[in-house]
Amino acid sequence: MKHPGLINMISNHTSDKFKWSEKNILKIKKIIDNYPKGKQKSAVLPILDIAQRQNQGWLSKNAIEEVARTLSMSIIRVMEVATFYSMFNLHPVGKNFIQICRTTPCWLCGSNKLLDVAKKVTGCQLGETSQDNKFTLVEVECLGACCNAPMVQINDNYYEDLDETSFNDILKNLKNGEKVKLGSQIGRQSSEPKKEN
Ligand code: FES
């Protein structure tokens, strides 16, 4: 499986020089202040996350170097962290980063069918970004919402209790820039028992 966060090499994709936004400088200062003086390196995960969010969902070489400068770390140490966690993308991703859970509970409830729907609507194979840059499609392991399987994460949102129809509608609405329903698609609160038909 090609996952933008699992390709163990930083993209050669050229991007503008990465510079923290003013808003993020304040956020970073607050995070670093949570750690004892001189231990700012411990903040590397949240700071990488901020860098990824500022950089449209992926970590460029410039962004990683800026994180290293900010935390007084060697670049290789920051690279080691960024290449270890699959949540960090080392290549550009589309506007909607689709992560389909493929672990057993979701698989038993039809995640394969959801993958087929996603391929059809986005035109992407696994690990690819669509030509219109609206979607990147990957499979991931359990996202911790097994009670509401099958589920998919798109950017920061979970979509649960999916079937082919509801997932197809969600993707089409995202494609057209329309509103989508988050969470359970059958109206469950959290992971309460499903209502009997
Ligand atoms: S198996 Fe899909 S969320 Fe756990």
pLDDT tens column, 101-126: 999 999 999 999 999 999 999 999 99
pTM of the prediction?
A: 0.88
H-helix or E-strand containing 165?
helix 164-175
Pick 40 or 8 by higher pLDDT.
Answer: 40
- Distance from the CA of 138 to the center of ligand 1, in angstroms? 15
Helix and strand totals (H; E) in the chain:
7, 5
3-state helix, strand and coil shares in percent for the chain, rounded to the nearest 5: 40, 10, 50
Q: Distance (Å, rounded) from C-alpha 148 to C-alpha 167?
A: 14
How high does pLDDT run on average in the chain? 93
Among 142, 153, 154, 191, residue to substitute to test ligand 1 (most atoms within 8 Å of Cβ): 142
- Give percent of the chain above pLDDT 70: 91
pLDDT tens column, 172-186: 999 999 999 999 999
- Distance from the CA of 170 to the center of ligand 1, in angstroms? 19
